[in-house]
A and B are shown apart, each in its own frame.
Chain A
Amino acid sequence: MSHPRPQAGTPGPYEFPHATRFALANGLRVIVAPMHRLPLVSVIAVVDAGAAGDTAGREGLAMLTAAALAEGTVDRDGPALVEAFERLGTAVDSGAEWDDATVQLTMTPARFDDAIALLAEVVMAPRFAEGDVERLKAERLAELLQQQVEPRGLADERFARVVYAPTSRYARAAGGSPATVRALDAAQARAWHGFRYGSTTTTLIVTGDVTPEVVRSVVERRFGAWSHPVEPMPAVHPQARTTERALHVVAKADAPQSELRVGHVGLPRTHRDYFRVVVMNAVLGGLFSSRINLNLREEHAYTYGAHSGFDWRRAAGPFVVATAVKTEVTDAAVREILLEIDRIRDAEVTADELDLATKYLAGVFPVRYETTGAVASALAVATVYELPDDYFSTYRNHIAAVTRGDVLTAARTHLHPGALQVLAVGDAAAITEPLAALHLGTPSVTTADEGETA
């Protein structure tokens, strides 16, 4: 049964779902992308009210406010609101990221009008009851407490702190710290909502089994009376904490693995080198068959998996290599990561590597956008970062146009070996000395509950 590897057939035609855009008289923007295969509709309300806008001392307010939206409206308390949504066969999800707050839900088309009516209540007239806000605060504090023994969350939080200057919003968790969360209250959430949520800061994205005409009439009826001019969000200043390499160990006694984060300040989402950097990172550590994963997992068996990525935000989010390795090989793994970062800056990637990265990124496009939810999320990202209307129809061409020279230039321009921050959450007694021998700068050792031990 020896058959040679088959040749590919002819690609079928593919178009990203066509989006219709319009705005209501009050400024509310609406994007509709019909997908009629199944009786399903996804809706995302995207509001310019992300954690980037938190003021100093009130970190966590954007996320708390967004979470509290779904806890009750002027007309319905929390249990009644949840009941109303779930009886429609939909569950409402609200939350905030760095650059936006979102409220999202998926329902069958027959329930679209009723669901949008509830969504309008949630977004325009939330209740912010004292008891609900206090409970959400307590849940965030519980999460922070649990993070002290959860190495992955702990590593992410500490990594942000060593990469960004203390004055940068990005140095501190989007959800806030125990001190800042304790200081929040319902009145602040109400004020934040009044200031940030309005018809001119909100885009409604609707995908699935609907027509633009139906959406327009329903949205006009439910959101037409909303009006609230709001100022734009303040910009985040993504200053680095240092331009020098440094080593940071967070002690977790007897940990069988070290959670590693290696990286530095990255790039803003709208950077003109975006596509070149995406392809470069795919070769470096973005794909299963990337250099870093094949080296650390398949060649050395140090780990279950390793990857690199740029966290794309409005201002420059971090570039990070992340993995978890057996305690005994922590220094060896860091050495390999540093070597791979040097290597992709030293010489062009092979034609084969470039081919894999670009063919994957371009080819996987239709696979990624099979669902109404995935298309809605993609349109939400395009909204937040003000990507051009033809972004999705030209994406594959942009990827295919990246050359080996582009990848090398991107690596040399945007990876900074001298500024890498190396952070390990693990058995400090076992890993600190070997890591220090790699000459990564003076090691600092801290504990999970914040105290400096060395």
Chain B
Amino acid sequence: MRLPLESYRLPNGLLVTLSEDHSTPVVAVNLWYHVGSANERPGRTGFAHLFEHMLFQGSEHVAANAHFELVQRAGGTLNGSTWLERTNYFETVPSHHLELALWLEADRMGALLPAMTQEKLDTQRDVVKNERRWSVDNQPYGTWWERLPALCFPPEHPFHHSLIGSMEDLSAASLEDVAEFFRTYYTPDNAVLTIAGDFESTTARALVETHFSKIPRGSGRPALPPMGLPRTFGGWAREVVADDVMVPRLFLAFRAPTFGTDAYYAGSVCAAVFGQRRGSRLYRALVREREVASDVSAFTWDLAKGADLFVADATARPGTDAATLEAAMVAEVDRLRLGGVRADEVARVLALIETDFVASMQTAGDRADAISKFATLLGDPALVNEQLDHYRKVTAEEVAAFAHDFLGEDNRASLVYVAPAEGAAEGVAEGAAEGAAEGGRLGVRQRTTEGSP
């Protein structure tokens, strides 16, 4: 199963990929800008995400919030999201509204700043502060996805700091920051545009030409600080957080090879053997047999620069303390690292990956987003068609070698959440904010309408 792809670059540097499919009258427009929280400067944590909110506040020919309104009036869905390495914006519309989606994206890429005002910035700053309270501060375990990267990347590394940002830094963001960030990063040569679904190639090419070709190229994306890191953490980092939680939760992280490398695929399969679904080792051992956890998972973050993270997590059953939970998880890690994996475990994972892959190609929006991901992070949209081949080539020996090389005691970081009383018993003085494992990606939340048939 391969997606038809047609890629070309406009003279201004915009990488365009078209993937036609006429099976349903729907088309997706998807833009990835190669900028994320990693590109923020000191004192401006959270800015990439705040900026994403500003992109829905109008542009030269589009009124504030009209982007949402126009797409929904067309019968479309839309959103945006920010991650460490990229920010994306996407619409799926009935196919006769393709030009509307392109026009909206081009207007904000070409002429955002005329619409920016201090009032809009102040409003979105408060909205984002509420987003932080909602997803991080007022949710049990919610700080995990800023504490874990802080624990796993050195302080000067661009992946170290918080994606949603601190309240202080959000307060400090100015209109001048908005203008500078826009001029630096929101340029056609720092973006990829993917159109997937029901359209005619010649028409789409002409529309892209009309709306995007006159947007000037940027002056070049400033280089990130050095992203390279040693192969392992070089030890076992540890943080215990006393939080307003009823039961402990453990995140055990390992430094791993970057997204898209051969070793990445072995690591990805290893994570699935270890913690994907109920047939995984963690579920069998911790949930079903020992009954020390009620919930487990393992996954990679898919970072393409410097180093990736392999993360396993487990939430304790009431009555299980953090030490017991961690010992149980570590025992399973060691069994994997020292005992290897069986071919049938890899076969289970491959069967699931194959079904999931086909399922992920069902919507135009998902297809466009996958194409943009490979175009942005690895520079080649066509890699989307090679993913299954990469996974199929992974052997049990390679998974075992990955576990041996990357899951050792010299490459671990434990982030443990405990109830305040247990934290006191462990000598943890610092009280932490509450928060929630919401899946890690931020975005302007689109409120869907109820009343679906």
Contacts and interface: CB of A to CB of B under 8 A. Distances in A.
A417 interface: no
A127 interface: no
B111 to A, nearest CB: 8
Interface string A140-152: 0111011011110
Given A6-B99, A11-B25, A149-B246, A364 B77 contact: yes
A118 to B, nearest CB: 13
B94 A12 contact: yes
B298 to A, nearest CB: 15
A356 B73 contact: yes
Most A Cβ at <10 Å: residue of B245, B347, B434? B434
Interface in A386-413: 387, 391-392, 395
Most A Cβ at <10 Å: residue of B73, B75, B77, B110? B75
A359 B75 contact: yes
Interface in A97-140: 106-108, 135, 138-139
B75 A289 contact: no
Interface stretch (A19-27, A34-42, A213-221, A231-239): A34-42
A451 interface: no
Nearest to B356: A89
Interface stretch (A191-199, A242-250, A292-300): A292-300
Contacts of A150: 139-140, 436
A272 interface: no
B96 A9 contact: yes
Interface residues of A, number: 98
Given A1-B110, A12-B95, A281-B450, A145 B137 contact: no
B24 A366 contact: yes
B72 A356 contact: yes
B280 to A, nearest CB: 9
Interface in A350-409: 355-357, 359-368, 370-373, 378, 381-382, 387, 391-392, 395
Interface residues of B, number: 91
Contacts of A139: 294, 317
Interface stretch (B122-130, B333-341, B392-400, B407-415): B122-130
Contact of A256 (B123, B137, B288, B453): B137
A13 B291 CA distance: 53
Nearest to A1: B214
Contacts of A39: 1, 358
Given A257-B134, A297-B127, A286 B61 contact: no
B449 A282 contact: yes
Contact of A38 (B1, B68, B247): B1
Nearest to A373: B359
Contacts of B219: none
Nearest to A12: B25
Interface stretch (B36-44, B322-330, B360-368): B360-368
B433 to A, nearest CB: 8
Interface stretch (A77-85, A162-170, A341-349, A431-439): A77-85
Contacts of B452: 368, 378
Interface stretch (A43-51, A222-230, A302-310): A302-310
Nearest to B451: A278
A301 interface: yes
B130 A301 contact: yes
Contacts of B445: 304-305
Contacts of B65: 289, 294, 298
Given A8-B74, A149-B140, A89 B447 contact: no
A289 B288 contact: no
Given A11-B25, A356-B73, A359-B74, A78 B288 contact: yes
B52 to A, nearest CB: 13
B352 interface: yes
A142 B24 CA distance: 44
B284 interface: yes
Interface in B128-143: 128-131, 133-135, 137-140
Interface string B414-453: 0000000000000000000010100000000111011111
Given A135-B288, A259-B138, 16 more contacts: A5-B103, A6-B100, A38-B358, A86-B348, A106-B359, A142-B318, A257-B133, A281-B450, A287-B447, A288-B447, A289-B68, A293-B447, A304-B133, A307-B447, A326-B126, A367-B93
9 contacts: A1-B214, A4-B61, A5-B61, A9-B95, A78-B288, A135-B287, A149-B244, A151-B138, A289-B69
